[in-house]
Amino acid sequence: MDVNLVKGVGSKAFEYLSKLNLYTVEDLILYYPYRYNFIKVIPLIEAPEDEIVTIKGIIDTEPRVSYIKRNLNRMTFRLNTDGYLINVTIFNRSFYRMHLKLGRLITLIGRYDRKKNTFTANDIKFDLIKDYKIEPVYHLVKGLTSKGLSKLISECFRMRLDLDDYIPDYLVDKYKFMNKKDSAYAIHFPANTSILKKARLREIYEELFIFMFKMNYLKHKYDLNNQGLGRKVDRHKVDEFINALPFALTPDQLNAVNDIYDDLLSPKRMNRLILGDVGSGKTCVASIGMYINYLSGYQSSMMAPTEILARQHYASITDTFKNTDIKVGLLVGSMKKSEKNKIYQELEEGKIDILIGTHALISEGVKFNNLGLVITDEQHRFGVNQRSNLQNKGIMSDVLYLSATPIPRTYALTIYGDMDTSIIKTKPNGRKDIITKVVKEKDLKDVLYHMVEEIKNGHQIYVVAPLIEDENGESNLNDVVKLKEKFDMAFHNNIRVEILHGKMKNADKDAIMAEYKNGNIKVLISTTVIEVGVDVKNSTMMVIFNAERFGLSTLHQLRGRVGRNDVQSYCYLISNMDVPRLKVMEESNDGFYISEKDFELRGEGDLFGTRQSGDMVFKIANIRRDFKILLQCKKDATEFITNNLVDNFNKYPEFHKIIKELEFID
Ligand code: ADP
Ligand code: MG
């Protein structure tokens, strides 16, 4: 159901929601909080000094507002709390004045100073909190508040909902799970912690069950049903192509190519994972796979997690095939309808041999002529794609996954254990380790000198900051916009510095990327949009501000953007905090080692990406924290698959969508 049908969704709200990719009522309902505030109301006499507490009381005097500076105002009033009269001070909330009527019961969060009998409030709540309240906190866009979003979500629950429930009945019975709607409701509006816990358990289980289903389905399917495409390929032609590449393949790359070659020619369909660190040469191996597929007369598709990355793959793969007759196409969401239509047509007519794109590849009614090989980044296998509508004339495509997420062995065995896997460990020849240093902000000068030196040597630099722009000046984090000003000043505008971030228009992003690629831009400041896959070999330095804000796997991915040729590269982690994981980065360039350390150091590693970077794969589960559940899900999913394969999951229509997406056949 369209999100426009929700009461309270006008054009403004619609705009915010679409920024969050929420288009249907179901999307909105499944947009879960990323954490909760636990608010417990206590009597004032119990309030410990210097601790943030929540109290209730009745407004005893009209609030008075004084303006201290342009950006600073103070409001004061007296509050009657359990019979005590105290003075309340709150800064920069004068907009609440009209709601603070004499005699109104309110809840305040803040600190109480006994000596001065003053309560300094950080926030005021107007809805009555009984003894405690669990308040959901959502990832938001500017203009939308958690409260506003909550309101819309509560409206959704009044509507007739069509929520898919992916836990089979017998498992719901076995584990006594609550039903989908109740648990979704409890996730948004938890009445107490025990119901929240139950709901979360159910959602975590469901997410991991789907995940393990996806990891294991094809394997079992192919064991049962072996019809591959029966390709015929002249190996000499493949070798010729490999020999014409501008470099020699590493031994691991060659092994992976051979694995793929054997899979593609065997009577069995391929279901293979290529696991390798960033920059290890997976994309290159995938291209050779597409070439083999082309030689046997089929189309290939390659899905990337972001538009920037899809465009980048498109450019580099077009280049890889420039001396062949292969026609490469691009399909991403932001393209004009007419451009898309042209691609649709050429695709259906078989004029396009390789189609690169984002999720748009399978969600927009694309019709392939004869799709024989599907390559996808692991991210896309998570969750359920509600809008999948791929058509491929019943051809049984081979499937290849690429993953740059090095994970500790135990986890890898559980997750990937049943898949055919090729691991690329060795780095391309001549690659040097990236020299990494943690630097305090006060020593930034040293970094600036080094930056100038690198640029003098003809190289380019990435800079990453955690924020795009700090509009309220509230945070003490570095942001992209301010850093540009800083760098421009430091370099006296002699060095071209530009910014790139998710809120820019696509055309602007492309223009900046193109200018960076051709070397005109020397320093590119961005958020983690560039995290995945961007490949500009001339970049030799990565400078990450507020490095303590990023998890190890993100830092490792970011650093992987440099060190892409035989020139020495550098990574500076700017941080004023002594965070152990930054030391790990100084110590090692090995993604597998780093992932082991990550799991040792953090209760919850940011395995499979972080929500901040927008590439979060799990909404609610956490592989490490929920490892026991994962193991159970693996067992349950395997059983579920083997018991239902023969009659094609007839009893479980909700799985047909997932299966279709896994199989790439209609
Ligand atoms: P990944 O997909 O694993 O991040 P890519 O395939 O994109 O890695 O390779 C990273 C860079 O290294 C690309 O610029 C690619 O052209 C180059 N490259 C790949 N394989 C080799 C190799 N064997 N020798 C030298 N350079 C290579
Ligand atoms: Mg790549």
DSSP readout, 199-228?
HHHHHHHHHHHHHHHHHHHHHHHHHH----
pLDDT in tens, 407-431: 777 888 888 888 889 999 888 877 8
Q: How confident is the model at residue 613 (pLDDT cuts 50, 70, 90)?
A: very low
SS3 395: coil
Handedness of CA 273, 274, 277, 283 (dihedral sign): negative
Atom 6 of ligand 1: nearest residue by CA position: 281
Can you tell me which atom of ligand 1 is nearest the CA of 286?
6
Cα 102 to Cα 58: distance, rounded to the nearest angstrom:
8
Mutate to test the pocket of ligand 1, among 403, 432, 535, 557 (most ligand atoms within 8 A of CB): 535
How is the chain split into domains, by residue range?
Answer: 3-163, 175-225+621-665, 235-265+281-403, 435-588
Which ligand is the nearest neighbour of the Cα of 560?
1
Decide whether any atom of ligand 1 lies within 6 Å of the 595 Cβ: no
Can you tell me which atom of ligand 1 is nearest the CA of 560?
4
Residues in contact with 662: Cβ distance below 8 Å, sequence separation at least 6, in sequence order: 214, 217, 218, 381, 399
The CATH code for residues 435-588 is: 3.40.50.300
Give the CA distances from residue 540 to residues 294, 463, 521, 562, in Å, rounded to whole numbers and listed in that order. 35, 11, 14, 5
Which ligand is the nearest neighbour of the Cα of 517?
1
How far does residue 317's CA lie from ligand 1's centre (Å)?
12
Mean pLDDT of the residues in the chain: 88
Give percent helix, percent strand, percent coil of the chain, each to the nearest 5.
Answer: 40, 20, 40
Which ligand is the nearest neighbour of the Cα of 281?
1
Can you tell me which atom of ligand 1 is nearest the CA of 535?
14
Handedness of CA 165, 166, 169, 174 (dihedral sign): negative
How far does residue 282's CA lie from ligand 1's centre (Å)?
7
How far does residue 550's CA lie from ligand 1's centre (Å)?
25
Evaluate whether 342 touches 269 at the Cβ level (below 8 Å): no
- The model's pTM is 0.74
How far does residue 402's CA lie from ligand 1's centre (Å)?
13
Which residue, 224, 297, 235, is CA-closest to 260?
235
pLDDT of residue 385: 57
Give the highest mean pLDDT range of 231-235, 388-392, 396-400, 604-608. 231-235
Exposed / middle / buried, residue 415 (Cβ in 10 Å: 0-12, 13-18, 19+):
buried
Which conformational region is residue 230 in: left (phi greater than 0), alpha (psi within -120 to 50 degrees), or beta? left
Cα 254 to Cα 481: distance, rounded to the nearest angstrom:
44
Report residue 177: phi and psi, to 5°. -75, 150
Of 1 and 244, the structure prediction assigns the larger pLDDT to 244
Which ligand is the nearest neighbour of the Cα of 288?
1
Q: What does the angle CA 539 – CA 547 – CA 439 come to, to the nearest 5 degrees?
A: 80
Atom 11 of ligand 1: nearest residue by CA position: 279
Decide whether any atom of ligand 1 lies within 6 Å of the 539 Cβ: no
- Strand ordering across the sheet containing 398-403: 328-331, 354-357, 299-303, 371-377, 398-403, 271-276, 420-424
Evaluate whether 478 touches 466 at the Cβ level (below 8 Å): yes
- Segment 306-332 shows an average pLDDT of 91
Decide whether any atom of ligand 1 lies within 6 Å of the 302 Cβ: no
Decide whether any atom of ligand 1 lies within 6 Å of the 561 Cβ: no
Report residue 108: phi and psi, to 5°. -125, 140
Looking at the chain, the number of H-run helices and the number of E-run strands are 21, 21
Tell me, what DSSP letter sits at residue 104? -
Lowest average pLDDT, out of 47-51, 86-90, 565-569, goes to 47-51
Q: How confident is the model at residue 28 (pLDDT cuts 50, 70, 90)?
A: very high
Paired tokens of 317: 């793969």
How far is residue 584 CA from its own chain's centroid? Answer: 23
SS3 542: strand
pLDDT in tens, 572-610: 999 999 888 899 999 999 888 888 888 777 644 444 444
How far does residue 381's CA lie from ligand 2's centre (Å)?
18
Q: What does the angle CA 162 – CA 164 – CA 166 come to, to the nearest 5 degrees?
A: 165
- Strand ordering across the sheet containing 460-464: 435-439, 570-574, 539-544, 460-464, 523-526, 497-500
Evaluate whether 373 touches 290 at the Cβ level (below 8 Å): yes
Decide whether any atom of ligand 1 lies within 6 Å of the 428 Cβ: yes
pLDDT of residue 351: 97
Cα 41 to Cα 135: distance, rounded to the nearest angstrom:
13
Can you tell me which atom of ligand 1 is nearest the CA of 249?
23
How far does residue 551's CA lie from ligand 1's centre (Å)?
25
Tell me, what DSSP letter sits at residue 268? S
Paired tokens of 253: 């790359």
How far does residue 358's CA lie from ligand 1's centre (Å)?
21
Atom 19 of ligand 1: nearest residue by CA position: 281
Paired tokens of 212: 């393990």
Cα 521 to Cα 516: distance, rounded to the nearest angstrom:
5
pLDDT of residue 591: 85
SS3 348: helix
Q: Which helix (H) or strand (E) holds 133?
A: strand 132-137
CB atoms within 10 A of CB 349: 10
CA within 13 Å, CB half, 390: 28
Q: Are strands 523-526 and 497-500 parallel, antiparallel or unpaired?
A: parallel
SS3 84: strand
Decide whether any atom of ligand 1 lies within 6 Å of the 301 Cβ: no
Can you tell me which atom of ligand 1 is nearest the CA of 276?
3
How far does residue 534's CA lie from ligand 2's centre (Å)?
7
Tell me, what DSSP letter sits at residue 388? -
Can you tell me which atom of ligand 1 is nearest the CA of 248?
23
**Residue 130 pLDDT greater than 80, yes or no:** no
Cα 642 to Cα 626: distance, rounded to the nearest angstrom:
24
Which ligand is the nearest neighbour of the Cα of 406?
1
How far does residue 253's CA lie from ligand 1's centre (Å)?
10
Cα 441 to Cα 104: distance, rounded to the nearest angstrom:
47
At the topology level of CATH, where does 3-163 sit?
OB fold (Dihydrolipoamide Acetyltransferase, E2P) (2.40.50)
**Residue 104 pLDDT greater than 90, yes or no:** yes
Q: How confident is the model at residue 38 (pLDDT cuts 50, 70, 90)?
A: confident
Decide whether any atom of ligand 1 lies within 6 Å of the 406 Cβ: no
Placement of tokens 């700017």 in the chain: 574
pLDDT of residue 639: 97
Report the greatest alpha carbon distance in the chain: 91
- Segment 520-528 shows an average pLDDT of 92
- Segment 17-33 shows an average pLDDT of 89
Cα 463 to Cα 526: distance, rounded to the nearest angstrom:
6
**Residue 473 pLDDT greater than 80, yes or no:** no
pLDDT in tens, 65-96: 999 887 789 999 999 998 899 999 999 888 89
How far does residue 535's CA lie from ligand 2's centre (Å)?
7
Which residue, 8, 31, 9, 4, is CA-closest to 20?
31
| The amino acid at 521 | I
How far is residue 322 CA from its own chain's centroid? Answer: 32
Of 296 and 506, the structure prediction assigns the larger pLDDT to 296
Give the CA distances from residue 67 to residues 71, 94, 102, 260, in Å, rounded to whole numbers and listed in that order. 8, 9, 22, 70
Paired tokens of 184: 């979704």
How far does residue 279's CA lie from ligand 2's centre (Å)?
6
- E strand residue ranges, 497-561: 497-500, 523-526, 539-544
- Segment 342-370 shows an average pLDDT of 89
Q: How confident is the model at residue 259 (pLDDT cuts 50, 70, 90)?
A: very high
Q: Is 435-588 in the same CATH topology as 235-265+281-403? A: yes
**Residue 42 pLDDT greater than 50, yes or no:** yes
Q: The domain at 235-265+281-403 falls in which architecture?
A: 3-Layer(aba) Sandwich (3.40)
CA within 13 Å, CB half, 24: 11
Q: How confident is the model at residue 386 (pLDDT cuts 50, 70, 90)?
A: low
Decide whether any atom of ligand 1 lies within 6 Å of the 282 Cβ: yes
